[in-house]
Structure 1
């Protein structure tokens, strides 16, 4: 849509406000709202000013003026505002008109440009599958003298004996027993359907929704694949709708990877493929799982750089509470067809040549999607350019349930890092592939590592409640 088209939409639909948004390094959206009567053609030429020093990891106070430049292709009506409002995603520029090299959306766009420069293909498609929990109550505190969290859900198995007004109605979902049950066990069918309705009205193409494996309201809604930057935009829209629809129902949604101890966590499996025009480059009939050599090299790049990638695809201390064996967590750095115990799964059911793709199962939704998708693409392209064959490096294929292998059989299978610090160490040692095409810069990576080190340390130095259980009576 052009700027003139947006201005016509404002006039024809009685729009009162235009909400301009950008995304910080952690993947959180920020916004500034302008009265619609103050938005004109010059707004789309000159942009909207904001203070970069108030955004962690952006600018210092001595050089803080920054500009949001609206992307007119991203506009949609805010489904939650009481006053008619349009939402527009923006790119970040410096006052002299240069793209800001720490703008995550700009990094995603540069990754797409680099793909075309390589001559390998013209477009990369991404399809994230974010999982999330819907709770009825959440409470937490981290202070000098106390630290705790508590969440609750009407369908949680720990409430099977709770006395409620009118009696306990039962049908609680057992631990690891939540995969696609029908009502009354699944209490959130209507809520997920409402989320999907709003997503579709806001421009997302929804494929399906269902309850996920864990107790206490774990959910998944799948939306249609798109190009790299567009998929990241869609994920930001998706999370905004999930959070706010849950709140309208008096509930709270979280994409935190591991909010519950002893049950499955929430991941964000990411499907990926590359096309040259209309020609899919990952398909070759008769190959392993009908994969082409290009696809195998792409897999090799991701698995070869996986430890470093995780600093961008799983960038929280909580991420590594999910990445432990025994909870369907993809901790094994191998690939396999149809095998959910591998870090990379090749979907094989009802797959056409154009649907041939790889699924990297390790990422989660604490990642910034613009940075995570860009990093995955660069790792895969590095694999293609350097012909990194995963079969020759011991990355599979592994067509067995890896969780059932003996320790001796698993000895040669690489696993993901066990902490955020280990992933940051890996990124510090292996980031040259991210510099290709000027997509990431050394300065960006150094700044990112410093921010995440501070985050990890803030958790490391705090007393954990479980330490009282272990050591108070020493």
Structure 2
């Protein structure tokens, strides 16, 4: 039962019928229209008001939105900081809120905090305290104002990074002078699937059934082809508001599946941007009553999986003669193929089958404009002789801290033996 205010002298049975009340919920806007359009009610501006209750099958008129959208800025300098961290599975996101005495501009101005690691699978019950270190700040699109989202990583009380803290190792790699000097850029294509609640079946699909074959859904429009556009658009705007360097979005090949792109982002910022964008997407799907899935193969059979293609370039790749630098990087990547595959997401073997625009998980390959390869080089990069490469192997549930830092490590810091390099060069030459 919801409550609103109505003039007590006019809330008689003759003013509005029971049938009209029960037919649909009465919103505050509808009440305003009723008052303004009734001459008798307009003349009673001095009438006392009392609470008038309305019932309907859907429960109705709520003032929660007024409080959720309340701007407290004129009344206090305090802000709300939402501390966000990665949970025990390595893919689940957790968060909790705290009040900060004034607006902040840098994570160093924020206090460390702790949480119960035994409840997230990250610490034993007898020693459950895990410490959050604030690392990156974004504007909060849900609370607005000066409120913020805070990306954190997790440590033991003694200051050691816990096993699920992949950011710590990534930050070490990105702080290496050789990596800094090469200014690594990343453009990450995050694919995801929207599922109906309870049945956990893709949005727009008949429950227990299948839509028409793939073909008409990619970048499509129309009620019979595009499912979840409002969620995609809401996420797009929320990321722009937050300060995330989101560069685009589109409907994907499988119906109910979408993609957005983050970047170009430099170094560790790429991981921070992607994790924050995922958190925002989780919150939006929560509000929409839809389940977010980052499973790399949410539907078995003749359906595309979900990846997180990672576009990568260094300063040397972007300059004249960069194509030769790209080919050397590809050679290094071929020699560490198994290392990368093992770090590129759980369940990726169900996606990397050699079908549906993927390469086989056990075979490294590269090609120009070939989406069936492990590494794709664009036509424009080949033409210009400089540019970037696209690593198409990462799964949709990959950890962006791991993938971005591993690409930098393999192509900038790791040196193969001359023998291995020569053998790999021969194999790759046969593919071109």
- Fold match (TM-score > 0.5): yes
Show the counterpart of 2:252: 212
CA distance in 2, matches of 1:110, 1:322: 31
CA distance in 1, matches of 2:426, 2:276: 39
Check conservation: 1:51, 1:64, Cα contact below 8 A: yes
- Measured after TM superposition, the shift of residue 128 of structure 1 is 1.3
Matches within 5 A, 1:197-346: 197-215=237-255, 217-262=256-301, 263-275=303-315, 280-281=316-317, 283-285=319-321, 291-292=323-324, 294-314=325-345, 316=346, 318-331=347-360, 332-346=363-377
What whole-Å deviation, never above 9, does each CA across 1:282-341 have from its counterpart, x for those lacking one? 5544xxxx612x322221222211112212112x2x321112132222224111111111
Gaps of 5+ in 1: 1-8, 140-149, 161-171, 400-474
User: Secondary structure at 1:225's aligned position in 2?
Assistant: strand
CA distance in 2, matches of 1:181, 1:362: 25
- Measured after TM superposition, the shift of residue 152 of structure 1 is 4.2
- Measured after TM superposition, the shift of residue 384 of structure 1 is 5.2
User: Secondary structure at 1:235's aligned position in 2?
Assistant: helix
Alpha-carbon spacing, 1:176–1:311, altered in 2? closer, same or farther (3 Å): farther
- Measured after TM superposition, the shift of residue 351 of structure 1 is 8.3
Show the counterpart of 2:192: 132
Alpha-carbon spacing, 1:375–1:205, altered in 2? closer, same or farther (3 Å): closer
Alpha-carbon spacing, 1:101–1:241, altered in 2? closer, same or farther (3 Å): closer
Show the counterpart of 1:154: 204
Show the counterpart of 1:23: 86
CA distance in 1, matches of 2:276, 2:267: 14
Alpha-carbon spacing, 1:65–1:159, altered in 2? closer, same or farther (3 Å): closer
User: Secondary structure at 1:75's aligned position in 2?
Assistant: strand
- Measured after TM superposition, the shift of residue 50 of structure 1 is 3.0
CA distance in 2, matches of 1:153, 1:390: 48
What whole-Å deviation, never above 9, does each CA across 1:371-430 have from its counterpart, x for those lacking one? 23222322223555657468624135735xxxxxxxxxxxxxxxxxxxxxxxxxxxxxxx
CA distance in 1, matches of 2:87, 2:422: 35
CA distance in 2, matches of 1:346, 1:203: 29
Alpha-carbon spacing, 1:32–1:249, altered in 2? closer, same or farther (3 Å): closer
Alpha-carbon spacing, 1:186–1:382, altered in 2? closer, same or farther (3 Å): same
Aligned residues: 353
Q: Does 1:347 align with 2:371?
A: no
- Measured after TM superposition, the shift of residue 105 of structure 1 is 1.2
| Structure having greater relative contact order (Cα 8 Å, sep ≥ 6) | 1
User: Secondary structure at 2:311's aligned position in 1?
Assistant: strand
Matches within 5 A, 1:442-461: none
User: Secondary structure at 1:179's aligned position in 2?
Assistant: coil
User: Secondary structure at 2:328's aligned position in 1?
Assistant: helix
CA distance in 2, matches of 1:123, 1:271: 14
Show the counterpart of 1:411: none
Alpha-carbon spacing, 1:213–1:61, altered in 2? closer, same or farther (3 Å): same
Structure number with larger C-alpha Rg: 2
Q: Does 1:395 align with 2:428?
A: yes
Gaps of 5+ in 2: 1-71
CA distance in 2, matches of 1:268, 1:214: 15
- Measured after TM superposition, the shift of residue 257 of structure 1 is 0.7
CA distance in 1, matches of 2:169, 2:359: 27
Moved more, 385-394 or 326-335: 385-394
1:80 aligned residue (120, 142, 146): 142
Check conservation: 1:298, 1:382, Cα contact below 8 A: no
What whole-Å deviation, never above 9, does each CA across 1:113-149 have from its counterpart, x for those lacking one? 23x2x4794422222111111233453xxxxxxxxxx
User: Secondary structure at 1:363's aligned position in 2?
Assistant: coil
TM-score, L = length of structure 1: 0.64
CA distance in 1, matches of 2:214, 2:207: 7
